[in-house]
Structure 1
Amino acid sequence: MSRSAPLARPALLARLALLLASGALTACGGGVHGTPGGSGLRDPYFPKAGNGGYDVTHYGLDLAYDPDTSRLSGTATLTARATQDLSAFDLDLEGLDVEKVTVGGDTARWNRTGQELTVRPHDDLDEGRTFRVTVRYSGTPKTITDPDGSEEGWMETEDGAVALGEPTGSMAWFPGNHHPSDKASYDLTITVPEGLQAVSNGELTASRTAGGRTTSHWHTAEPMASYLATVAIGEYDIHRTTTSDGLPVHTAVDPAEADASRKVLAQIPAVMTWAQDTFGPYPFSSTGAIVDRRGDAGYALETQNRPFFPGAPDTGTLVHELAHQWFGDSVTPKTWRDMWLNEGFATYAEWLWAEDHGGDSAQETFDALYDHGEDDYEDLWDFPPGKPSSAAHISDSPVYLRGAMVLHRIRQTVGDAAFFALLRDWPTTHRHGNADTDDFTSYVEQLAPDKDFAPIWDDWLYGEGKPAKPGP
């Protein structure tokens, strides 16, 4: 290899500038002037939720929890792809003590401000690069109070704990990109004292007991938004069966709720058969339920694969949460403004179940709500489902009931054949993806281009106050 004479300094600087501009020479560490990723995604209601600059494809969570001390220790390994040249990026983590952070196996600098864990890799990350960040952490996980006053995050129960994440509670027990627009697969390994079980999403792939501790490994292959991730720790009666077409059904029931739950949980196979006939193929590898003691949480939640219930649910609530597996879990909203796409569909599923099983028709339910709904739901006409008034109201009656009424108005407009085709095609088209209200309204308009949907969108989806009653 020959050696050329050194260039004079001005010529050398000009040559370096030319090489950098052409891409022939990159900055040390493989990144070119990387910039920090955003510390939030500017969600209309939770602007600090999620983070910019990367997309998580997989979470590997290795956890241990002791109910006697309320101590959680964990190692979270996130596999992600940089969506820009990154000099730093944020993870959402509320509370807990961070002990070490690595990126690509190299120790990374980090600092914390509120729920933001800012990570500075040793080298910049090029756009398009897949990388792994590992966070070792521990402490007493927090229960988070939502804007509407409900509690989520990590909640202690009489014999263990349950983790629920809608809308932002998952950041209380593992670091991540906690916004519904970023979905990923999961592997969760959790160790608890012998005699307790730990139930999570997906499939139980391994379990062993040694030295007074039981370790379980749960694998969720299909993409999941982090708000749908759960782990429930306690004493449970575990039952495994299948539906008529072989879909695994896994239920975990607190013994105190076993008798009250037995009859309704026995309906899961029938509900799933009806739901697949109505909404199309089931999008996940198993179904089921987690039933904890009444009072362990203030609400049921559509945690992926197996919804969580605080006490034995009634049939309508079971139908609602299982319908969410299509609407909310598989087709997940792009922002929290689009909650009605979750709750309107799940509520309408209750109406359809009643219609098909000897109860009121959906039309009768719609008419009763329109005529007298404010007697039971004082806030029914307070705001439109497509635009909740604030973060404190994304789970209020208009999102659920008026959301269902929007769907019924679509049914009235297009007729049953087209509407029931929509119920199957919409979740198939967006299977394991994200969608927002504009996506849905455009889809409906393309489904029936000869129909005028403006009155539905203007009056029922986005209109203030009580719309005029539709004609026959």
Structure 2
Amino acid sequence: MLLTARTTATRPKALRTPRIAAALVTATVSAALVAASAPAPVAPLGIGDPLFPHLGNPGYDVASYDIAFTYRGDNRKPLDAVTEIDARATQALDHVNLDFAHGKVGAAEINGRAARFTTSGEDLVLTPAEPIRPGERLRITVRHTSDPVSGKDAQGGWLRTSDGLAMANQADAAHLVFPCNDHPADKAMFTFRITAPKGLTAVANGLPVAEPRHSGSTTTWAYRTHHPMATELAQVSIGRSTVVHREGPHGLPVRDVVPTKDRKKLERWLKKTPGQIDWMEKKVGRYPFEAYGVLMAQAKTGFELETQTLSLFEEQLFTLPQIPAWYVDAIMVHELAHQWFGDSVSPRTWSDLWLNEGHATWYEALYAEENAKRPLKDRMREAYRRSDGWRAAGGPPARPNRPAPGKKISIFRPVVYDGSALVLYALRQEIGHEAFERLERQWVRVHQDGNATTADFVRLASQNAGRDLEGFFDAWLYGKKTPPMPGHPDWRKGTKDGK
């Protein structure tokens, strides 16, 4: 999830206005890239995503990223960086397009030979010394800066905190940090190497590769993922942080990253995570990754984000006295649930976003019902009342409207949160609790570490129900109006007295 949309009636009153970060605007390269022109005009490419047509790049499949950042202690200045990409060509290529903006490129290589480079839109276009053949391995190296832009130019990517930096790359902001194939359909392994001044701590997705290496006035950390990851889920945190270790179910490493000065007062929340993981495992099966933890950032972001193995939270979520404890617990479970739904099983296109957010909202609400006596039925009845309005404003759950120009995060609307959890509630009503719970477990097991579509979910649901559910899903996922709720013929839409 990119932005934790807090728009349901079950929220505390103080949080009814969505706490959303500044709207994204069209990215521009922060400075012109100094390079020789390609022999022929080049164009920005894309894989044709229905919501972001120019996102991602065709012609190759990335296997891994190895990214080195050098941070010099000032979060207003660009970092020096080297991004190495190991990929394989899926077609003949005269040019290799990467998504990249907000950085200066100093040099680029493909397979050990210098490559010419230029830009087109938000693409960095490399011209290899020789054309690339289908099936050929691509070893790409780009030496560049990584610029933590802010203010009116802020679009995601690097997030400035009071003591350093963190990342917030959803939906398509990873390319504001490093060159990549910035679409969840192309998942890859990641290695991060972060050098920072002594006194700071750097943490990233995955687990440490080795002990931190000290050299003069700097320290270098290295981390590597054990499972493939979408670019939008990358996380690097640099700051005056303490890393708190504990053990989760089955010996799972639980690693939390918190401001050192607030370590003790945040413990009441940190110690909840192992129990929340255990609760989720009872619902859908074994946790899918090598580690988990929460990153509490000293920044006013307006969102929480399910970065893989290390979910990003605003520290103030845990410290503002007006936020009820049950609500904080539920939001923690929302981001945790995304590790299964959205991270391990990633969407094939951004129109499949409802599968991420609907499921995370579902388990958030179910946890609140079972642990805080907040009835799921009441929340879903309220969502049903408002659902037609959400569909009119943002489109049906599986056919969302395209984002407004310059507002890419506007795809994160109420219809993909409670509006999509409502679809899951209707499904459970339609096929029964037993078949629904079996479906959930199968979904995350069959598609673990991969990508899946709405059509995949419809097929698996039909198999578990023992009958064709295509008509049911067509109405609930694509209809302009919300269908009648199975088992609740008395539920009404658009009126506050709907029962």
Structure 2 equivalent of residue 174 of structure 1:
178
Structure 2 residue 51 is the aligned partner of structure 1 residue 45: yes
Q: Alpha-carbon deviation of 1:238?
A: 1.2
Structure 2 residue 234 is the aligned partner of structure 1 residue 218: no
CA distance in structure 2 between the aligned counterparts of 1:76 and 1:65, rounded to whole angstroms:
15
The Cα offsets for residues 223-243 of structure 1, whole Å up to 9 and x where unpaired, read as 000000011111112111111
Structure 2 residue 70 is the aligned partner of structure 1 residue 64: yes
Q: Alpha-carbon deviation of 1:126?
A: 1.3
2:247 touches 2:254 (CA, 8 Å); kept in 1? yes
CA distance in structure 2 between the aligned counterparts of 1:248 and 1:139, rounded to whole angstroms:
30
Structure 2 equivalent of residue 17 of structure 1:
none
CA distance in structure 1 between the aligned counterparts of 2:229 and 2:429, rounded to whole angstroms:
33
Structure 2 residue 450 is the aligned partner of structure 1 residue 433: yes
2:347 touches 2:453 (CA, 8 Å); kept in 1? yes
Of 393, 397, 401, 1:389 maps to 401
TM-score, normalising length from structure 2? 0.82
Structure 2 residue 234 is the aligned partner of structure 1 residue 229: yes
Q: Alpha-carbon deviation of 1:288?
A: 0.6
1:337 touches 1:394 (CA, 8 Å); kept in 2? no
Q: Alpha-carbon deviation of 1:259?
A: 4.8
Give the secondary-structure state (helix, strand or coil) at the position aligned to 1:301.
coil
The Cα offsets for residues 237-279 of structure 1, whole Å up to 9 and x where unpaired, read as 2111111420000000123553553212211000111111111
Q: Alpha-carbon deviation of 1:470?
A: 3.6
2:44 touches 2:54 (CA, 8 Å); kept in 1? no
Q: Could you tell me which amino acid in structure 1 is paired with residue 71 of structure 2?
A: Y
1:344 touches 1:399 (CA, 8 Å); kept in 2? yes
1:144 touches 1:172 (CA, 8 Å); kept in 2? no
Of 296, 316, 339, 1:325 maps to 339
Q: Could you tell me which amino acid in structure 2 is paired with residue 241 of structure 1?
A: R
The Cα offsets for residues 370-411 of structure 1, whole Å up to 9 and x where unpaired, read as 24x57xx97476331111112253211110111101011111
Q: Alpha-carbon deviation of 1:454?
A: 1.6
CA distance in structure 1 between the aligned counterparts of 2:79 and 2:88, rounded to whole angstroms:
28
The Cα offsets for residues 417-464 of structure 1, whole Å up to 9 and x where unpaired, read as 111111111010000000111111122122223364523431x21111
Q: Give the number of the structure whose residues are more often strand, by fraction.
A: 1
Give the secondary-structure state (helix, strand or coil) at the position aligned to 1:56.
strand
Change (3 A) 1:422 1:37: farther
The Cα offsets for residues 30-81 of structure 1, whole Å up to 9 and x where unpaired, read as xxxxxx9972111111111110100000001111012326221111110000
Structure 1 equivalent of residue 245 of structure 2:
240
Matches within 5 A, 1:72-91: 72-91=79-98
Q: Alpha-carbon deviation of 1:142?
A: 3.0
Matches within 5 A, 1:63-462: 63-68=69-74, 70-138=77-145, 140-143=147-150, 151-206=155-210, 207-255=212-260, 257-295=262-300, 297-311=301-315, 312-313=317-318, 314-371=328-385, 373=386, 379=390, 382=393, 383-391=395-403, 392=407, 393-450=410-467, 452-458=469-475, 460-462=476-478
Q: Could you tell me which amino acid in structure 2 is paired with residue 81 of structure 1?
A: R
- Structure 2: give runs of 5+ residues left out of the alignment: 1-41, 319-327, 489-499
Report how many residues are paired: 430
Structure 1 equivalent of residue 36 of structure 2:
none
Q: Could you tell me which amino acid in structure 2 is paired with residue 287 of structure 1?
A: Y
Change (3 A) 1:276 1:63: same
Q: Alpha-carbon deviation of 1:369?
A: 2.6
Q: Could you tell me which amino acid in structure 2 is paired with residue 370 of structure 1?
A: Y
CA distance in structure 2 between the aligned counterparts of 1:37 and 1:83, rounded to whole angstroms:
19
Rg larger in structure? 1
1:38 touches 1:89 (CA, 8 Å); kept in 2? no
Q: Could you tell me which amino acid in structure 1 is paired with residue 53 of structure 2?
A: P
Q: Could you tell me which amino acid in structure 2 is paired with residue 222 of structure 1?
A: H
Q: Could you tell me which amino acid in structure 2 is paired with residue 129 of structure 1?
A: E
CA distance in structure 2 between the aligned counterparts of 1:260 and 1:455, rounded to whole angstroms:
48
- Structure 1: give runs of 5+ residues left out of the alignment: 1-35
Q: Could you tell me which amino acid in structure 1 is paired with residue 414 of structure 2?
A: S
2:146 touches 2:176 (CA, 8 Å); kept in 1? no
1:240 touches 1:249 (CA, 8 Å); kept in 2? yes
TM-score, normalising length from structure 1? 0.86
